[in-house]
Structures are given as structure tokens and as C-alpha cells.
Amino acid sequence: MYRDRKEWADLEPVPQDDGPNPVVKIAYSDKFTDVYDYFRALLKNDEKSDRALLLTAEAIELNAANYTVWHYRRVLLQALEKDLREEMRYITAIIEDQPKNYQVWHHRRMVVEWLNDPSEELEFIAEILSQDAKNYHAWQHRQWVIKEYKLWDSELEYVEQLLEEDVRNNSAWNQRHYIISHTTGYSDPAILNREVQYSLKQIKKAPHNESVWNYLKGILQDLGLSSHPGLLEQILELKETHCSPYLLGFLVDIYEDFLENTLEHHEEVLSKALELCELLAREKDTIRREYWSYVGRSLQTKYGSTSNRLIWIHSH
Amino acid sequence: MESVSSPLRCFGECHTAEKYTDDGVETVTSVEQRKVERSIQEVVSVYKQIHSLPPTLLRDQHYQYLKKGLRHLSDAYECLDASRPWLCYWILHSLELLEEPVPTAIASDVCKFLARCQSPTGGFAGGPCQAAHLAPTYAAVNALCIIGTQEAYNIIDREKLLSFLFSVKQPDGSFVMHIGGEVDVRSTYCAASVASLTNIMTPTLFQDTPTWIVSCQNWEGGLGGVPGLEAHGGYTFCGMAAMVILGKEHMLDLKSLLRWVASRQMRYEGGFQGRCNKLVDGCYSFWQAGLLPLLHRALFKGGDSTLSLQKWMFEQQALQEYILLCCQNPAGGLLDKPGKSRDFYHTCYCLSGLSVAQHFGNMDLHHELIVGREENRLVIVFSSLQAPSHPVYNICPEKVAQAIQHFHQLPVPVPAQKEGSSACNTTTDHS
């Protein structure tokens, strides 16, 4: 306990003052109380010393979410001109232990910035992702490092490796979009086609994977789903052998885009779209019944002929 | 008003068909999903055998759990020692949803405690003598508005709060969560919420903020924490709600957002996942389902005439069943999913989501769908901005109206400070 240590006897601990009738009062352990009483004392005196730095580590271990302690630690690191390489080792260990905490990742970012050295980052983050491939903080840190230090080169390869391990990893699909958007972009038809083919390949392997369907829509929607040659035909073919609610929803999206951008065959396309919305609402995606009914009504209102519109809406 | 005391959706013969299809390709995602489905199936089948009663909200048990927590918390809560205003808010909001009054004495004690959490330089901190942070600031202001007494309102130092908001404002329109802290879309919601409730919005405070929030919307249709990140329920709620407060919701692609959030409801479990291909969690009952009232209102404002007049665009019954059957601890408190421990965060957001699922409409048009017994009905969690009521603030509408009325009698403080500099540089002094 700090209260028993000779080297700390000069400092008067500052107990937490919750007032006479506390609320949400936490039954802190003795150790917690001791460490934080001394932390408050350091803060009060604005002490900048090695012993203060050591104490922040203990305070962090007791509550790694205490952002006030982290901030103070950073102040100390700068004031005492501490070895930041050592700090990197420290924060690496803390993150391994508590990878779902905001403060630890922010701290690491600060140290990397001070050192201006991202060389360990991709490997470290990959290690964390190997334990939890969807850790949001890890991905956030990864995107920051890559953008800040222009480390784009090997990332698509890394994403493909992750998708190989789990084709349903939505974070990896997001990263795929991130890399391509920030490098080649999707406007080059060769790139777009490569991505469409890649997506269709993954769909054939696991048709009920929502991520890949969302990705396919995501990359085509700016240009327009109905504008991609042969896509509708390919999807209709897949419908026979690899059907899913996602495929049906995708067809609705293609038909809607067609209605938006073409003047011919409206009635035919509209009726196909409405049929699908009905099928989804009634049978294939009933959890989204209200949503698909709304989509149907919206399409009918926007593209339907006046006479049909009223009849249709009243029955749905 | 509809009361559904028989057929539960999860008892239906079609329910089993809603289980996950892994196409014979097993990955971590599909394995985890199937485990959860198995545990839900277990809960449902036990329920079928044991209970002849309709699903019941365990009001008394939750009340006891909340009442105790408002005073005392075990050392398991040491990890929330920098979030104590949150604990106040989660508990007080849960109590107001259950229509349990907070005794005057304890309400006053909460006020006095939150006063101790207020920073001398403005904003509220996670506890006494800690640094100000937008999240506990949001929670403290909400808690004080729930209490709604003059004492509560008077705690807030509006001038200093405004200068705190300016101090965390970034040139690109975003906000850091605290001095020397991280940026993400939560901060815009926290800032917009407190600024609008306490009437301290100035013309420049949210300059460029809507544009920044829009840049968080991605290819999936939802919003990520910062531009480029995966769409996520918590961040999407924060972004959308902030845009609603700022009156700029039409800048978002509402159609894609709607598609994304509607797709987050799990066909088997009935609850919501936070991200595509991840697991259901009771707290998303609010963060995700709570988006549908916001979207409904935004689309309505935009002239949409095909919106339902009776229902939100998610399966309200299925969500209620998930919460009531799978997210209640029999000793009180609510939780993420079966097998997880109860906590006050999940208690707050499961109950908030339950309220959204039970009530459709605004002040003029109100339609209820209560699963189980009539006694399960919760207070409406809507709040009125102008006319319609929606869960922007996630406190009861009367409290929002009362707070806005009170603070609008006061003049907007004159900003003393300019915007803060870049978040990423450490400051050598700390508040």
C-alpha cells in the first residue's frame, strides 16, 4: 500500500469526496482506494516524477478506462522525456490484455505519433485481429496507421487472407472497400469488374453470406446496378441454384435502379419488383415484412400508373 | 391498442426455419451465430414447457436492482469509476421507463453528486476530480433533466459548458471526447444533445459538423465511428440523432440507412445485431431499433406519403419477445443475451428498446402493441423536438419538453473562447 511506503510519506493522500449522501457509490477495494487517493494527491500537486509515472501504471491496471489517468501519464512521459520505445512495449502488453478499451488504443496512437514510427503497427494489429478478427478499435487504429503513413501496399493481400479464413468477416469486407477506395478507386472498369467477379465467386461459395451481397451493391450503386452489363442475367441464373433473401433483395435493387434510369418496360419491371417485395414480406424475409411492404408501396407510388396505384396501396 | 397474449412469434412453426444457413461453409462467424441460436432455442423451449403465462416484464425485480444500484455498487463496478454520471443516467432512465418515482431526497443527492462531477472549466467528468469528457457530460445533463427540478437545472454551468464544447471542437467539424482525447461520432451526439437541451447553441458551434457526420456514412448505408470504418449501430444512432437535432437529417442517404438498419434485425432471435454478420445484443434494441422512429420522422418530413400509420419498419413483436424471454435476469436487471451478466447499461437500453417496440407514433398519433401482459407496458421514450416525438434524447418526452422550456427562458451564453486546436497534440497542462 502506498500509505505504508516511506518514499511516499511526504505526500498527503486525497480521499475521494463523494459528499455526505453519495449515490452510485462503488465499494472500492482497499488497494483501489489507496492507489487513487495517491493519484489525486499527485494531480493536486501537479507532480511530475518517476514515482508518479509508476503510480499511473497501477491506477491504469485497476481501471484502464480512467482517461484522466491516461492523460496525466502522457503529460509525464513528455515532461520526463521518457523512453518511448519502452512505452510502446508497455502499451502493447496492456492492449493484449484489454483490447476492447478506447483509451489504450488512443494512447498507442499518441506514442506512435510522437515516435513518428509506424513500423510495428501492422504486425501488432494483425496479432490482435488474429484473436478477434472484428475488434473495432483495432480496425480503427489500422485504418489510421495506413492512411497516415501511406502503408497501402500490402493491405489488399492481408484482407484477402482474412476473407479466406472467414468470408463472413464484415470488417474485412469494409477494409477491402477502404483500401480500394483510397488507392485505385472503383471507377476503372477493370477494377470494378475484378471486384464484381470476386464477389460473385464468394457468393457461389456461400450464398447466405450477407456481407458479400452488401459489398456487391455497395460498389455498384454509384454507377447504377442496372448499368452493369450482364449482371441481371447472372443474378437470375444464380436464383435457380443459390437463392437467398439477399439475392431477392438485390434483384429488387436492380429493378429499382432500372426504373430510376430507364423509360421503357416500366410496367413489366415494376411488377417484377413488386412481386419480389411481396415474396420477401410474406415468406422469404418476414422479419422485415414492414420494410418490404413499404418498399413495395414506395415503388408503386413512384413508378406505378395512377389507376393501379390506389388499388395496390389499399391492399398492402 | 393491441395486446398479444397468444401466439408468440418464437413459438410459431415457421420459426425454426429462420435459423442460420451456413451453406456447408463453417467459419468463426457461422459457428458463433449457431451457438447463440442454440441458446435462444433452449430458452424458448424451456419457456414453452414451464410458462403458461404470457411473457412478463419483471418490474419488481428490476426496480429492486435499480433502487439498490442508485446508492451502492459492488467492486465489480470499479471499471466504471470514470463513468459514474452514466450510472446515474442508466438507472434514473430505467426507473422512469418503469414509471417508478425517484424519492425527492435521492434526487437531490444525485444533483449534488453530479455537481461534484462538474469540471471547473466546464462540462462533466466521470467522477469528482476527473477531467471533463463529452460522454459523462451527456449522461449528467440527461440525468439532471430526468430529475427536472430547479435544483437539477441550476447545477449546470451553461457558460462553462459552452466553453468546454468549443474547447473540444475540431476544425473539420468533429469533436474530440475530451482534451487530448479521441474523435468519433459519439462526441457530436453528446455535444448536440447537451447544447440543444440547455439552449447554448451558437451559430458557429456546429459549423461543418453535419458534413463531417455525413462522411461517416459508408457503402453499407450505416455510419461508422469515423469516416472509413464499418457501419455500427451505436455510432449510427449517434450520427443520425445528432443530425436530427441539427435539423440536417436530409443530408444523409436515408434510404440506404433504412435498408441497413432494417437488415440488422435477426430473423431467428428477433433482437438486433450491432454490425452485419455479428451477434445479437439486447442493447441494440435501442441503438438500432431506435433509428426507425428517427427515420420515419425524417422520411415523413421529406414528403414521403407511403409510410405506415401504425407500425415502425421493424418487427416490433419479435423484438419484445427477444427482450422479455432472453434478456431478463430473474433476480432483476437486463442483459445482452442468455448467459451474460446483468448490468445497468443493458438494463437501460433493453428497457428503452422495449419502449420503442411497444409504442408507435407521436403526440397526435399513438398506436401501441404490447406483447404479453398489459402490465408490461412501459412509458413512451419519445421526445418532442418540434411536433412529432421520437427517441432522440432517450429520456421521457415530458422531461425533454420541460427542460427545453426552462432553458429557453435563459439567454444563450456569449462564447468567451475560440475553437480548440488539434486533438492529437498533448497539452502540458490539464484541467
Contact B430 A71 (CB under 8 A): yes
Question: Stretch A61-85: mean pLDDT, rounded?
Answer: 98
Lowest mean pLDDT among A112-116, A165-169, A265-269, B27-31: A265-269
For helices A30-45 and A67-79, angle between their N-to-C axes, nearest 10 degrees: 50
- Please confirm, yes or no, whether A100 is among the known catalytic residues: yes
Q: What residues have CB less than 8 Å from A193, skipping those under 6 apart?
A: none
Q: What are the CA-CA distances from residue A58 to residues A15, A39, B26, B195 (Å)?
A: 17, 10, 42, 36
- What's the rounded Cα separation, in Å, for the pair B208 and B233? 23
A chain contacts of residue B102, beta-carbon cutoff 8 Å: none
Instruction: For residue B271, give the chain A residue with the closest CA.
Output: A287
How does residue A308 score in pLDDT terms, banded at 50, 70 and 90?
A: low
- Confidence at residue A305, expressed as pLDDT on a 0 to 100 scale: 78
Per-residue pLDDT tens digits for B242-255: 999 999 999 999 99
Q: Does the structure show a pLDDT above 90 at A263?
A: no
What's the sign of the alpha-carbon dihedral A180, A214, B270, B49? negative
- Tell me which residues of chain B, numbers 178 to 197, contact chain A at a CB-CB cutoff of 8 Å: 178-182
How does residue B49 score in pLDDT terms, banded at 50, 70 and 90?
A: confident
Q: Does the structure show a pLDDT above 80 at B74?
A: yes
- Tell me which residues of chain B, numbers 348 to 387, contact chain A at a CB-CB cutoff of 8 Å: none
Per-residue pLDDT tens digits for B147-198: 999 999 999 999 999 999 999 999 999 999 999 999 999 999 999 999 999 9
Per-residue pLDDT tens digits for B89-112: 999 999 999 989 999 999 999 999
- Confidence at residue B16, expressed as pLDDT on a 0 to 100 scale: 86
Question: Stretch A192-199: mean pLDDT, rounded?
Answer: 97
Place of cell 452493369: A228
Q: How many other C-beta atoms can be found within 10 angstroms of the C-beta atom of residue A293? A: 20
- What's the rounded Cα separation, in Å, for the pair B282 and B326? 9
| Higher-confidence position of B211 and B46 | B211
Is A14 near chain B, with CB under 8 Å?
yes
Bridge partners of residue B72, in order along the sequence: A25
- Confidence at residue B420, expressed as pLDDT on a 0 to 100 scale: 52
Q: Does the structure show a pLDDT above 90 at A264?
A: no
Is A80 near chain B, with CB under 8 Å?
no
Question: Stretch A17-29: mean pLDDT, rounded?
Answer: 96
Query: Is residue B218 within 8 Å of residue B260, measured between CB atoms?
Result: no
Contact A206 B230 (CB under 8 A): no
How does residue A107 score in pLDDT terms, banded at 50, 70 and 90?
A: very high
Contact B430 A24 (CB under 8 A): no
Per-residue pLDDT tens digits for B353-409: 999 998 887 544 556 666 666 777 776 554 322 222 348 999 988 899 999 999 999
Q: What residues have CB less than 8 Å from B151, skipping those under 6 apart?
A: B108, B111
Strand, coil or helix: B231? coil
- Confidence at residue B423, expressed as pLDDT on a 0 to 100 scale: 35
Lowest mean pLDDT among A92-106, A207-221, B381-395: B381-395
- Tell me which residues of chain B, numbers 16 to 35, contact chain A at a CB-CB cutoff of 8 Å: 18, 20-23, 25, 27-30
Q: Which helix (H) or strand (E) holds B195?
A: helix B186-197
Instruction: For residue B312, give the chain A residue with the closest CA.
Output: A290
Is A209 near chain B, with CB under 8 Å?
yes
How many residue pairs from chains A and B have C-beta atoms closer than 8 A? 232
Q: Percent of chain B at pLDDT above 70?
A: 89
| Higher-confidence position of B150 and A264 | B150
Q: How many other C-beta atoms can be found within 10 angstroms of the C-beta atom of residue A263? A: 6
Q: What are the CA-CA distances from residue A300 to residues A283, A296, A304 (Å)?
A: 20, 6, 5
User: Which class for A266: exposed (0-12), middle (13-18), buried (19 or more C-beta within 10 A)?
Assistant: middle
